[in-house]
Chains A and B, each alone.
Chain A
Amino acid sequence: MSDKVIYVMFDDDEVLKDGAKKLVSKGIKINEVFSPFPIHGIDPIIGVKQTRLGIMAFLYGLTGLTLATIGMRYFMVVDWPMNIGGKPNFSYLQNILAFIPISFEFTVLCAAHGMAITYLLLNKTLPGMPAQNPDPRTTDDKFVMEIRLSENSSMTEADLDAVIKETGFIEIDKKDIK
């Protein structure tokens, strides 16, 4: 399906935010915003859904906690009961205090790494992956708004241009994609 993408560039995040509000109020759907840093308050304006990364973090944490418990119980109690500091480990429960710091560490380790890897995978930004942003300047000091014609089928391109003109952008670029 062929589509046309309009890239609108701004040099200030506040101008972009005001522009986005204006566009959205006219019923225009903004597909994406590229920015060198997180813009506070842009998510609800362009209708980005609340992230579910937190739920994943909790699940990764639970995985870590379970793995740590199974591992330590096997290493320290079942396979070869260790006697450390006069506290022989014949029972995991009675010595649970000694295992809590490692459980905690491993929970945090799994949650943090799981979250980071999930984030990179979902955004397709693993090391070595091709860049997604339309203009390298969005990694420096420029902000780009992406609008797709296919998502705004109720408006013609000329209508869109007329509305975008009022936003105070500095550059506009259009690209046909197949």
Chain B
Amino acid sequence: MEFQITKNAKNLTYGLIGAGLVLTGIGLATSMGDDHFSTRLMANGIINGFFFFSLGLGALFFLALQYATETGWYASVKRVIEAVAGFLPYGMAIFGLVLLTITFMHGAHIYIWMDPEMTDPASHHYDEIIDGKSAYLNPVFFWIRTLVYFAVYYIFLTGFKKRSLEEDRIGGTELHFKNYRKGATFLVFFAVFSSTSSWDWLMSIDVHWFSTLFGWYTFAGMWCSTMVVLVLTTLYLKNLGHLEKVNDSHIHDLGKWTFATSFLWSYLFFSQFMLIWYANIGEEVTYYQMRIENFKVLYFSMFLINFAFPMLILMSRDAKRHAGVLTFVGLVILCGHWLDVYIMVSAGSLGANAHIGALEIGMAILMAGVFIYAILNNLTKAPLTPVNHPFLDESVHHEI
């Protein structure tokens, strides 16, 4: 198709993958045999597996949202969204593999509720609270849920992609209305799954603790990171001279999404933090005490990076139209949201033993390389601008 992976991009992704492998190797070599090695390795698997999987999932959600709301402006960047969403199968495979390994390791001290001793009254590890939750939190039901999430996401993704290419060939409004219905249906599933899956994959790490806002919090972080990826990919393609139908207003809109979802995330961070701080109930505040004890600087600088930084820099209209500013802010808050996931996983599993070393950075870079390569590869498989999207004309004349 019209887009080919350039030599530079190929070198960059191979470089990232290579550097990631080397750093991971160094990390493995230096920390192998440490007390918490297997937990640390698996925690990294969840952090990077989940983070990059969630970028694809965020794109799928965003695509479904555009279908369900019959949005017009996005038509010319639709293929970018689809390419990012197309990472989902790879993300599911990697993340699923990590979860499977952890299951065979009886939780690897991350999902301690997977350990059968926790729910065995005869064992001295017996935990009454975990036993009380075992109707929901047990390996079998966990896997049933995980597979259902994966299956539903996969089915909707392939459907959207298939109809998108079909629309290029035959056009008409029948496919559009089908997408509209499917998009709305996906949102119904996603509304439930975004909450329950974040409980399963992330909140169950701090198994004694719970928060009803947690699903939204995770979802907001994921959405914000996804918008950053969409902006960066669009800017990259624009820079190469592709996507000639995308104008400043589209970039501005994507920038606004980044700005707005940063606020959504900050709002949910604050809502969760403030309520728990105010109520000051023992079993709730432990969650934040652990973070403040072991991750004080990291935790609050992560909040400032993800909140104050985009707020102050992306506030003006000109900044949201400026490719350089968007790229800089985007890359910084992408790291900020990765840190958020890092703390979400590490604080409950490794606690005071967690630190960012060669292993953490290496695995993140490795996954980033794979992620970028998969997106670029997806972009080559379809024309970059849909031909028969009913709102394409509106999108071409988009002006704000």
Binding site for B on A (CB under 8 A): 40-41, 50, 54, 58, 85-87, 97-98, 100-101
Contact = CB atoms under 8 A, between A and B. Distances in A.
Report the 5 A-B pairs with minimum CB-CB distance, sorted nearest first: A97-B274, A41-B399, A97-B277, A40-B399, A85-B278
Contact residues on B (Cβ < 8 Å of other chain), bracket: 10 to 19
Contacts of A100: 270, 274
A97 B399 contact: no
Contact of B280 (A50, A54, A86): A86
Given A85-B278, A100-B270, A100-B274, A58 B399 contact: no
Q: Is the interface of B mostly helix, strand, loop or mixed?
A: helix
B273 A97 contact: yes
Contacts of A86: 280
A87 B399 contact: no
A54 to B, nearest CB: 7
Nearest to A44: B399
Nearest to A101: B274
Given A40-B399, A41-B399, A97 B278 contact: yes
B278 A54 contact: no
B316 A54 contact: yes
B315 A58 contact: yes
Contacts of A85: 278-280
B275 to A, nearest CB: 10
A54 B317 contact: yes
A97 B280 CA distance: 13
Contacts of B273: 97
22 contacts: A40-B399, A40-B400, A41-B399, A50-B317, A54-B316, A54-B317, A58-B315, A85-B278, A85-B279, A85-B280, A86-B280, A87-B278, A97-B270, A97-B273, A97-B274, A97-B277, A97-B278, A98-B274, A98-B278, A100-B270, A100-B274, A101-B274
Contacts of B277: 97
A85 B278 CA distance: 8
Contacts of B274: 97-98, 100-101
A21 to B, nearest CB: 14
A16 to B, nearest CB: 16
Contacts of A40: 399-400
Contacts of B316: 54
Nearest to B271: A101
Given A54-B317, A97-B273, 13 more contacts: A40-B399, A40-B400, A50-B317, A58-B315, A85-B278, A85-B279, A97-B270, A97-B274, A97-B277, A98-B274, A98-B278, A100-B274, A101-B274
A51 to B, nearest CB: 10
Contacts of A41: 399
A54 B320 CA distance: 14
Nearest to B267: A104
A169 B176 CA distance: 38
Nearest to A57: B315
A85 B274 CA distance: 13
Interface string B252-274: 00000000000000000010011
Highest count of chain A CB atoms <10 Å: which of B273, B278, B279, B316: B278
Nearest to B277: A97
A49 to B, nearest CB: 13
Contacts of A50: 317
Contacts of A97: 270, 273-274, 277-278
